[in-house]
Amino acid sequence: LTLEPVSAACARCGLPWVRPVARCLSCLARAPPYRAARAPYEFGGAIARAIRRLKWGRLPELGRPLGRLLPAEALGSGDCVVPVPLHVRRLRARQFNQAALLVLGSAGERRLPPLELGGLERVRDTPPQSALGLAERRANLRGAFRALPDRVRGRRVVLVDDVLTTGATAEACTEALLDGGAAEVVVLTLARAVP
């Protein structure tokens, strides 16, 4: 079993680093729009298999044990929790949103800020991103998300997703939330891909 906890990271974007740093090279070159991104595990091994099973293996019951791995203090650091939304077409095909399942599974006996399922919507479906470079991913996602100002205005939002890869999705969601009046955005994912 391989679980690789992130022990030291960039304080801004959460990129695993040999020692804690305030800004990694990437953040020094270009600061992300979110206040911070956090992930308890590096993407790989058991956590990657579990996330793939949750998403593609149609095992939504994995949302509970995996959601419990999200750190409570990070989940509780905002005024509301917003999962990264799927486009309605993709939601219909998959029948569940894995990010929402993680949030729902994370609660248990813990007291967490309210879940705002409708705080952010995906208004444009986009082609799969895996073959694209970072600049193409950003262009691909421009205008793909829209926040509902009534749900997020003035609030500190904890944005949750299963895995942060390049950060392009988290950045597009953050920009939409800030456009909608959110006070700040902290990104929380179960795993962090290390390039």
Binding site for Zn ion (CB under 5 A): 10, 12-13, 15, 24, 27
DSSP one-letter code for 21: B
- 16/180 with CB nearer Zn ion: 16
CB of 188 to Zn ion, least distance (A): 15
CB of 26 to Zn ion, least distance (A): 5
Contact 192, 6 (CB under 8 A): yes
DSSP one-letter code for 183: S
Among 152, 142, 150, 144, smallest CA distance to 177 is for 152
- 29/93 with CB nearer Zn ion: 29
How crowded is residue 18: how many other Cβ atoms within 10 Å of its Cβ?
7
Lookup: tokens for 143: 């205008």
CB of 10 to Zn ion, least distance (A): 3
CB of 19 to Zn ion, least distance (A): 13
- 9/190 with CB nearer Zn ion: 9
Contact 41, 24 (CB under 8 A): no
- 27/141 with CB nearer Zn ion: 27
